[in-house]
Chains A and B, each alone.
Chain A
Amino acid sequence: MATLAQWKKQIKASHPSLTKNVNGVSSTLSDAEYKKTIDEWAKYRSIKRLQLTSKRTVASLLTTLSTVLRLTPALATS
């Protein structure tokens, strides 16, 4: 799984500069704004990947449990 630093590197590579639109007027983000935005995006991507992995792990465990209970019905009623 990618680390936060790896996410930042990846996002920076795909977004070497960023713009903002204020009251309909477009401008480039300052260095500080750029860094803060990349940090936030990397954090959210990292969290979402973790949530996705957790969801898949739980689904896999439930499938395994369901199989075990099907094969050993006595466990389901005990």
Chain B
Amino acid sequence: MALTFIKSATAAGSPATISFVDGSSDVVFDNTYNEYQFHFVNIHAGTDNAAFGFQVNSTNDPGGGYDTSQISSTFFKAEHSEGGSGGSSGYHTASDQGNGVALQRMSYSQQMDDDEAFSGVLTIYAPSSSTYVKHFVAKGNYVHHSSHYSQNTYVAGYINDTYPIDEIRFAMDSGNIDSGTIHMYGVG
């Protein structure tokens, strides 16, 4: 399957959020594709110890506050420090959700040194389905706030909403997105 480029958004001016909304500025987020990918390149936090994640709006809440489509998710991580210590893996309970509407983390406790950021990919399957909940899988890597750990994250779950999802918003849980780029692709 091929990736079709849809849109890029750069965190110029350090925005609080970066969104992709179906229907304007050449953005399609509907049944044109059965799968969508968002590629994150060097998402740098404006505040130390912040987490990067996403929330969505469905067609039942157009232009809403990204607080009605519930998410159930899991969050696994593997980590190893620059100093060579701490090689381990585990589940991070503070970053999962059970029908929650908070920012779904793809990282947590990011370091904000000038050379440290988050990169990864989020895939959302069949967002326009009006039958099924919407599954997503994200994997990424970033520098953890504590002792410069390389932290590899595996996040998956579903948006527990049978209305089509056509708006997605990315943000840090606290503070601006200082810099970075998000590329949106359709798959198929």
Contact = CB atoms under 8 A, between A and B. Distances in A.
B147 to A, nearest CB: 14
Contacts of A23: 7, 9, 19-21, 24-27
B86 to A, nearest CB: 15
Contacts of B27: 23
A40 B173 contact: yes
Contacts of A20: 15-19
B8 interface: yes
A15 B176 contact: yes
Interface residues of B, number: 28
Given A26-B13, A48-B49, A21 B18 contact: yes
Contact of B174 (A24, A41, A51): A41
Contact of A18 (B7, B9, B12, B176): B176
A45 interface: yes
B173 A19 contact: no
A29 to B, nearest CB: 7
| Secondary structure of the B contact surface, majority rule | loop
A24 B25 contact: yes
Contacts of A24: 7-10, 25
A22 B27 CA distance: 10
A44 B174 contact: yes
B174 A45 contact: yes
B100 interface: no
Interface of B: 7-21, 24-27, 49-51, 65, 94, 173-176
17 contacts: A15-B176, A19-B14, A20-B15, A20-B17, A20-B19, A21-B10, A22-B20, A23-B9, A23-B24, A23-B26, A24-B9, A26-B15, A29-B16, A36-B65, A37-B17, A41-B173, A51-B94
